[in-house]
Chains A and B, each alone.
Chain A
């Protein structure tokens, strides 16, 4: 059976250190923005809680490309620069991309950024260049609290499959279910969003 890569992020483990964000910038040479951003779930601003002092809550939510089964970005690209590999990874062909930005508003998760220097759309590729060399995505390697698990969803023995089959991880489904393969283990209080 072919591989189908997926990612599990444990939100109870995530401490909002942004090491994923920075590691992505280094690995993929992204000057502004990153293939993975970390949102604060709580208050309206970064690193602020919801509630009223002292009854507060806050957690962090890293958001990379969800590598959807039916990626709306792919549909939206007029020059067919976005494709889905056999292993499920959605990639942007930087040679083909003409920087029209049509894909950017189509992503329900807002994970596509515009690279002004290169004049193209950029996003997380699960570090496909590393995967092809048998390595893990760089953010997974660098995660400070080991909150990220990457592997083959088609392999029942993979760490990701085991977590998902235990029922501890869910995807974030927006208005239309695009089939995201980034799963989240909720916080102890059961929160993802």
Chain B
């Protein structure tokens, strides 16, 4: 892209959303970012895409409220009193404080958390820094994105198995399950749109009437958090009619593997502890699962060396037996005939693409829901071996620091670590690219307990966010249009490309790229060699992997345009990264939690629990097209469309409480209270109230949407992967201001 006079157009990408990374042509006039338009993907023109938020990055880059220079707190935390400091002072203070914390409480008590590590691999400089100081690296997936990975880790041994479900060729039906792709994932929606135009049926399962639901052939409204029961009820319908895909179960799942009734473990060969056993129907005897000529049984009870054993498939069948249509309807509040028809369509319209949305994982047992839908998809033979784009970078050398190694902590564990020293004390925190206080559960606990327990809190940000407000030092970070970066592919990628994030404009004000900030602190922590590196050098290092995907790829080549990724698949045998190499519908390691099978558990804060007498409404905070998490809540152009936080509630619930649209209402539970206007309409299921997420504390009349959310840890999620935040699993009551409370 050439420069003509003072105008230029630069090909870069949008780093707003981890894993999406739309190509962008950025227009610059006299050094100022003026306009963004879709960027090209040479081999895939159909992938050119931009959204309203992506365009409004221009507004964020040029926003008058950008943080302009480093500052230190001079009043109380959160009081908003700041003093301008130099970058030198900021770097020196951070290094000194980190060293002080490490000496006093141990190196692991220094923690660093960053979002954006998928958006730009260079953000992994913070992992390198954490490695260097042997601190604690916070995994941020737990803020709403960890329950699905827990479920998929159990079933598939990898955290994102979505492609097996949704990226299948020529599906006979699409099911958006807890997903609103038309509003939150428009690029993927295009595939569904194309299928719809060919006559493929679309079903949306969602308690809310979303844009996707409005576009669907059928909207199935479900009681929140009961999707596991729906999947189990559907499995029973399929089994009762004898429509299960037995070949799939035998070939790809642990279905035929025998489970011992005495300890619940898989039966293994006495001589080979890793070899699984099956019951061979030909010889009517136990055999090694991988033995030639064996035809394993899926059903039955067998006594082997005095121990009663059953194939795990039989255990699943037994467990689902109680999920009659009557019972499933009682739990899900979906009419029996709809459940039955849906179950049969999963067989008749094979292959059915199930798009498992983030809504599913934001209830307390969202991990089990993912496993139950996996069981349904497997039993109906609706999973496919789909390849994925695979760029391999030299991450090891980039993040590695010789002889040094950080610890990892899921973000949901930070609460107890800071407050109680459980599992160990965290005393310093550097949060970047993540608006923790605004976006994470239990706002009051974070502000009143977690942050006050910290000796030192640094935030690097574009704005004085809800989080930055509580920091000791605030650093002005450059946006992704002001620095170099690199986007790669991962298993969920929609763009099979390696792309360069170009420095389209110079860093605004006295801001610095996060990469540079991390390097400066690293040098001052005594790792001058490891952090004596420019962003260009870091990218060159990353591209130095000995892998065909980056062979002959240079920064210069990437400046000319994106580089297509080779595709990778699991091969003809379709092996999984589980201990058995099969899809594990039975999980030995989850027995302690009673979750070895994908059992239905009532949501944590269900309206059927006793607590619901006091707080009878399900409280949601869902995504919206008008913001990206907490970004753009300060952009006037988007606020013209969505001006302020509102509580969405159904007409019937509003009427019962004497509430009219526009009334100021109080939403409360034991964790906190929020005051905002009510938006009364029919698009929310009765019994649910919803505040679309992302608004900042200052946007509310009182309170904040995260003051209502719980920060409970799910023990089985802790055991498998990491605990997730359940922002769709909270109870509240709503009252009209001035009305009876």
> Chain A nearest CB: distance from B403 CB in Å?
49
Interface residues of B in 177-221 (CB under 8 A from A): 182-183, 186, 189-190, 193, 196, 209, 211, 213-215, 219, 221
Q: Cβ of A166 < 8 Å from any Cβ of B?
A: no
Q: A19-B50, A146-B190 are in contact. Are A49 and B637 (CB under 8 A)?
A: no
CA distance A32 to B189 in the complex (A): 30
**Chain A residues closer than 8 Å to B196, beta-carbon distance:** 12
**Chain A residues closer than 8 Å to B213, beta-carbon distance:** 56
Asked if residues B55 and A26 are in contact (CB atoms below 8 Å), the reply is yes
CA distance A58 to B211 in the complex (A): 8
Asked if residues A16 and B681 are in contact (CB atoms below 8 Å), the reply is no
Asked if residues A19 and B51 are in contact (CB atoms below 8 Å), the reply is yes
Asked if residues A58 and B625 are in contact (CB atoms below 8 Å), the reply is no
A32, A42, A146: which contacts B640 (Cβ < 8 A)?
A: A32
Q: Cβ of A84 < 8 Å from any Cβ of B?
A: no
Q: Cβ of B650 < 8 Å from any Cβ of A?
A: yes
**Chain A residues closer than 8 Å to B49, beta-carbon distance:** 144
Asked if residues A58 and B683 are in contact (CB atoms below 8 Å), the reply is yes
CA distance A173 to B23 in the complex (A): 39
Q: Cβ of B641 < 8 Å from any Cβ of A?
A: yes
Asked if residues B637 and A13 are in contact (CB atoms below 8 Å), the reply is no
CA distance A145 to B682 in the complex (A): 26
Asked if residues B221 and A54 are in contact (CB atoms below 8 Å), the reply is yes
Q: A49-B214, A54-B209 are in contact. Are A19 and B55 (CB under 8 A)?
A: yes
Interface digits, A107-143 against B, CB 8 Å rule (1 contact, 0 not)? 0000000000000000000000000000000100110
Interface digits, A47-66 against B, CB 8 Å rule (1 contact, 0 not)? 11111111011110000000
Q: Cβ of A94 < 8 Å from any Cβ of B?
A: no
> Chain A nearest CB: distance from B481 CB in Å?
14
B211, B638, B651, B661: which contacts A16 (Cβ < 8 A)?
A: B211
A15, A46, A53: which contacts B682 (Cβ < 8 A)?
A: A53
In this complex, the member of B38, B193, B638, B661 whose beta carbon has the largest number of chain A beta carbons within 10 angstroms is: B193
Asked if residues B51 and A17 are in contact (CB atoms below 8 Å), the reply is yes
Q: Cβ of A161 < 8 Å from any Cβ of B?
A: no
Asked if residues A18 and B641 are in contact (CB atoms below 8 Å), the reply is yes
Q: Cβ of B236 < 8 Å from any Cβ of A?
A: no
Asked if residues A46 and B641 are in contact (CB atoms below 8 Å), the reply is yes
**Chain B residues closer than 8 Å to A145, beta-carbon distance:** 186, 189-190, 193
Q: Is the interface of A mostly helix, strand, loop or mixed?
A: loop
Asked if residues A53 and B51 are in contact (CB atoms below 8 Å), the reply is no
> Chain B nearest CB: distance from A158 CB in Å?
19
> Chain A nearest CB: distance from B645 CB in Å?
14
B35, B650, B679: which contacts A26 (Cβ < 8 A)?
A: B35
Interface digits, B597-641 against A, CB 8 Å rule (1 contact, 0 not)? 000000000000000000000000000011000000000011011
Asked if residues B56 and A22 are in contact (CB atoms below 8 Å), the reply is yes
> Chain B nearest CB: distance from A71 CB in Å?
26
Asked if residues B35 and A18 are in contact (CB atoms below 8 Å), the reply is no
In this complex, the member of B36, B211, B221, B685 whose beta carbon has the largest number of chain A beta carbons within 10 angstroms is: B211
Give the B interface residue count (CB, 8 A). Answer: 44
A15, A32, A52, A138: which contacts B211 (Cβ < 8 A)?
A: A15
CA distance A2 to B156 in the complex (A): 61
Interface digits, B51-69 against A, CB 8 Å rule (1 contact, 0 not)? 1100110100000000000
Q: Cβ of A78 < 8 Å from any Cβ of B?
A: no
CA distance A22 to B54 in the complex (A): 10
Asked if residues B214 and A56 are in contact (CB atoms below 8 Å), the reply is yes
Asked if residues B641 and A21 are in contact (CB atoms below 8 Å), the reply is yes
**Chain B residues closer than 8 Å to A33, beta-carbon distance:** 640
Asked if residues A43 and B681 are in contact (CB atoms below 8 Å), the reply is yes
**Chain A residues closer than 8 Å to B686, beta-carbon distance:** 53
Q: Cβ of B737 < 8 Å from any Cβ of A?
A: no
In this complex, the member of A23, A25, A46, A142 whose beta carbon has the largest number of chain B beta carbons within 10 angstroms is: A142
**Chain B residues closer than 8 Å to A165, beta-carbon distance:** none
Interface digits, B34-50 against A, CB 8 Å rule (1 contact, 0 not)? 11111000000000011
> Chain B nearest CB: distance from A39 CB in Å?
12
Asked if residues B52 and A22 are in contact (CB atoms below 8 Å), the reply is yes
Asked if residues A58 and B55 are in contact (CB atoms below 8 Å), the reply is no
**Chain B residues closer than 8 Å to A18, beta-carbon distance:** 52, 625-626, 641
Q: Cβ of A45 < 8 Å from any Cβ of B?
A: yes
> Chain A nearest CB: distance from B636 CB in Å?
8
Interface digits, A17-40 against B, CB 8 Å rule (1 contact, 0 not)? 111011101110000110000000
In this complex, the member of A19, A23, A46, A144 whose beta carbon has the largest number of chain B beta carbons within 10 angstroms is: A144
Asked if residues B682 and A56 are in contact (CB atoms below 8 Å), the reply is yes
CA distance A27 to B37 in the complex (A): 10
> Closest B-chain residue to A15, C-beta based?
B182
> Closest A-chain residue to B50, C-beta based?
A142
> Chain A nearest CB: distance from B24 CB in Å?
11
Could you list some 8 contacts between A and B, CB below 8 A? A15-B215, A17-B52, A26-B35, A49-B681, A49-B682, A51-B682, A141-B37, A144-B51
